[in-house]
């Protein structure tokens, strides 16, 4: 009996210890002795640096996203998020309405810059729903004391600060567009105009140009730094014929203020908020800010309307920067491309394309076609193939995006295709079966002999690894080589002979094998 009692006592003790241990695990942030909530330990903000163009960076738990750019423009999107984590309670005061599709619009604008000029603005996105964090308010109102919301707030503005510093260092000036959306008025009316906020109130804008210029200080606007270095008056910059709003109107999008809509005249209007003030009035930085309040119908509502506006917005911003910043974005693209020119990359890309096109190995096919159809138009074949290659270089990624494939995955698939093409060249076997050609010049010379599936696959693979300008130069170099060989195919065959052509095919086949392995290993690590 004695031992039985001891046994029950022992079991009871075990149960008690186990229970205590379980309780301690249920809330690791509570000190059991003092009942004090411990602060969570966050990684240092900026530990994900350095920030590289075209890469994507995420803050803690993906609450904030940062896309580094390469032009003096920042797109900040504080109210478009939809993430609602349990660790952040709902805000108890302040506005909580989400600006629908503003993230999608900002991404579309960034993609339009890239598709047209191979440049991108810097983009900073708050992915948290506005009920959890308002990144366009001061820290107290924005996060309302929640440490996780405060962390996201700090990340959001840290990334904007990083982007601003890079822009100032590279361009000495820049502009932040704070992207928002406005909806229906209380009476149901939807204003079709984009509201441009410069920190001037509706009542101030309702005054005459003379009043604005004589009674308002430029220090009161978010374009303070621009106006400080400009000979233009406040009214001219805000709503003159070359103002941002007037350029909007020129491209078919109504805007307020503009020369056509100089003031709200009693209608609802937002003049700008915390972000516009923070980044547009700091005289320690030669930086400016504009709040953009976009209407929903016809601009934010559908993918097609967003894409149409984004393309127009690129032209709008291009003209605006020419007018007031003396920066030509297209020239900037050319400048950036020139900076990226690399003789080693050009040589390597040229060799890769030369190997994959294999125009020397195709000489017997060209000679056979010449005998079948008579004359081959070398100029036409070369020009068409070059257009196909350059066109696919620019549009290929967009086509892939439409079908939901990233360029790295395509590069992996391309490396496999290149591998088998190389095997054909090295082993002298036929893996890919093609139809018997019936015409020449364009089909099958330009396509698929020169600009075939292997070549197009290789081009996107090269774009994933090399600078665009270097790949374009490589295409031009190979087009010149193709033209010379097409014109001299008979002489080349006589000069090299069958054995010479076979040797060249095998040498370049081995090079292609090496290239395919490198492409595979480089890109597979990015998607796994």
Backbone phi, then psi, for 370, in 5-degree steps? -60, -40
Question: Between 60 and 29, whose confidence is greater?
Answer: 60
- Chain segment 295-328, per-residue pLDDT in tens: 999 999 999 999 999 999 999 999 999 999 988 8
The lowest-confidence range among 111-115, 194-198, 447-451 is 447-451
Question: Between 175 and 502, whose confidence is greater?
Answer: 175
**CB under 8 Å to 121, separation ≥6 — which residues?**
69, 71, 73, 74, 75, 109, 110, 113, 177
Asked whether 527 and 411 are in contact (CB, 8 A), the reply is no
Please count the other Cβ atoms lying within 10 Å of the Cβ belonging to residue 301. 13
Instruction: Give the per-residue SS3 of 89-157.
Output: CCCCCCCCCCCCCHHHHHHHHHHHHHHHHCCCCEEEEECECCCCCCCCCCHHHHHCCCHHHHHHHHHHH
Residue whose C-alpha is closest to residue 156's, from 144, 148, 166, 167: 148
Where in the sequence of the chain do the CATH 3.40.630.40 domains occur? Answer: 57-331
**Confidence category of residue 438, pLDDT binned at 50, 70, 90:** very low
Question: Does residue 271 surpass a pLDDT of 70?
Answer: yes
Asked whether 223 and 229 are in contact (CB, 8 A), the reply is no
Q: What is the helix (H) or strand (E) element at residue 25, kind and residue range?
A: helix 2-26
The Cα–Cα gap between 387 and 375 comes to 22
Tell me the average pLDDT across 496-511: 73
Q: DSSP code of 83?
A: B
The Cα–Cα gap between 341 and 343 comes to 7
Q: DSSP code of 61?
A: G
**Confidence category of residue 62, pLDDT binned at 50, 70, 90:** very high
Q: What is the mean pLDDT of the chain?
A: 84
The Cα–Cα gap between 305 and 287 comes to 30
Q: Output the pLDDT for position 209.
A: 96
pTM of the full structure: 0.65
Tell me the average pLDDT across 77-103: 96
**Sign of the Cα pseudo-torsion (510, 514, 519, 520, in order):** positive
The lowest-confidence range among 87-101, 253-267, 419-433, 509-523 is 419-433
The residue to which tokens 């928002």 are assigned: 180
Would you call the peptide bond into 444 cis, given omega within 30 degrees of 0 as the criterion? yes
Question: Does residue 245 surpass a pLDDT of 90?
Answer: yes
Question: Does residue 197 surpass a pLDDT of 70?
Answer: yes
Question: Does residue 186 surpass a pLDDT of 70?
Answer: yes
The Cα–Cα gap between 378 and 14 comes to 89
Asked whether 133 and 143 are in contact (CB, 8 A), the reply is yes
Tell me the average pLDDT across 75-95: 97
Question: Between 271 and 457, whose confidence is greater?
Answer: 271
The Cα–Cα gap between 61 and 133 comes to 14
3-state SS, residue 177: strand
Q: DSSP code of 253?
A: -
Q: Output the pLDDT for position 298.
A: 93
Strand partners, 181: 294
Question: Does residue 49 surpass a pLDDT of 60?
Answer: yes
The Cα–Cα gap between 174 and 317 comes to 12
> Domain spanning 57-331: which superfamily?
Zn-dependent exopeptidases (3.40.630.40)
The lowest-confidence range among 82-96, 220-234, 329-343, 477-491 is 329-343
**Confidence category of residue 14, pLDDT binned at 50, 70, 90:** very low
- Beta pairing, strands 73-77 & 57-58: unpaired
**What is 433-499 written as a DSSP string?**
--PPP---TIIIIIIIIIS-HHHHHHHHHHHHHS-HHHHHHHHHHHHHHHHHHHHTHHHHHHHHHHH
- Chain segment 368-419, per-residue pLDDT in tens: 556 666 677 889 889 999 998 998 888 876 777 677 776 667 667 767 766 7
Q: Output the pLDDT for position 495.
A: 78
Question: Between 468 and 239, whose confidence is greater?
Answer: 239
Q: DSSP code of 32?
A: T
- Chain segment 452-467, per-residue pLDDT in tens: 767 887 887 787 778 8
- Chain segment 128-161, per-residue pLDDT in tens: 999 999 999 999 999 999 999 999 999 999 999 9
Asked whether 408 and 464 are in contact (CB, 8 A), the reply is yes
């Amino acid at each position: 009996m004695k031992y039985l009692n001891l046994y029950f006592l022992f079991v009871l003790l075990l149960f008690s210890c186990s229970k205590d241990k379980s309780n301690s695990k249920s809330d690791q942030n509570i000190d059991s002795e003092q009942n004090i909530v411990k602060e969570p330990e966050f990684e240092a903000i900026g530990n994900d640096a350095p920030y590289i163009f075209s890469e994507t960076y995420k803050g803690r738990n993906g609450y904030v996203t940062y896309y580094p750019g390469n032009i003096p423009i920042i797109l900040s999107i504080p109210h478009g998020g939809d993430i609602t984590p349990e660790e952040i309670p709902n805000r108890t005061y302040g506005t909580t309405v989400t600006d629908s599709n503003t993230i999608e619009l900002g991404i579309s604008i960034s993609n339009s810059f890239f598709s047209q000029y191979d440049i991108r603005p810097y983009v900073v996105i708050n992915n948290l729903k506005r009920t959890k964090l308002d990144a366009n308010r001061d820290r107290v109102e924005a996060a309302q004391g929640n440490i996780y919301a405060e962390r996201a707030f700090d990340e959001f503005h840290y990334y904007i600060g990083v982007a601003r510093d890079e822009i100032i260092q590279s361009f000495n000036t820049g502009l932040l567009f704070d992207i928002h959306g406005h909806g229906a008025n209380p009476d149901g009316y939807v204003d079709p105009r984009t509201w441009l906020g410069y920190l001037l109130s509706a009542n101030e804008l309702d005054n005459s140009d003379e009043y604005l210029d004589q009674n308002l200080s430029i220090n009161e606007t978010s374009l303070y730094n621009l106006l400080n270095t400009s000979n233009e008056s406040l009214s001219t910059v805000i709503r003159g014929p070359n103002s941002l709003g007037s350029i909007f109107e020129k491209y078919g999008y109504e805007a307020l203020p503009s020369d056509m809509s100089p003031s709200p005249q009693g209608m609802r209007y937002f003049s700008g908020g915390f972000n516009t003030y923070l980044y547009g009035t700091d005289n320690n930085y030669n930086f400016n800010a504009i709040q953009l309040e976009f209407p929903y119908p016809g601009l934010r509502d559908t993918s097609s309307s967003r894409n149409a506006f984004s393309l127009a917005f690129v032209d709008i911003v291009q003209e605006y920067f020419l007018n007031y910043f003396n920066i030509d974005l297209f020239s900037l693209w050319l400048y950036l491309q020139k900076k990226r020119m690399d003789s080693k990359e050009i040589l390597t890309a040229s060799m890769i394309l030369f190997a994959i096109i294999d125009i020397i190995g195709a000489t017997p096919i060209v000679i056979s076609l010449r005998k079948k159809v008579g004359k081959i138009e070398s100029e036409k074949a070369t020009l068409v193939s070059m257009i196909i290659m350059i066109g696919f270089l620019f549009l290929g990624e967009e086509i892939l995006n439409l079908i939901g494939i990233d360029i790295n995955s395509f590069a992996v698939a391309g490396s496999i295709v290149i591998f088998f093409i190389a095997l054909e060249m090295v082993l002298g076997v036929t893996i890919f079966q093609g139809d018997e050609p019936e015409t020449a010049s364009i089909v099958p010379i330009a396509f698929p002999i020169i600009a075939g599936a292997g070549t197009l696959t290789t081009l996107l693979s090269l774009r994933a690894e090399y600078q665009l300008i270097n790949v374009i130069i490589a295409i031009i170099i190979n087009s010149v080589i193709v033209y010379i060989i097409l014109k001299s195919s008979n002489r080349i065959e006589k000069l090299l002979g069958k054995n010479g052509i076979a040797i060249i095919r095998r040498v370049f086949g081995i090079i292609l094998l090496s290239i395919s392995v490198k492409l595979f290993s480089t890109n597979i690590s990015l998607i796994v």
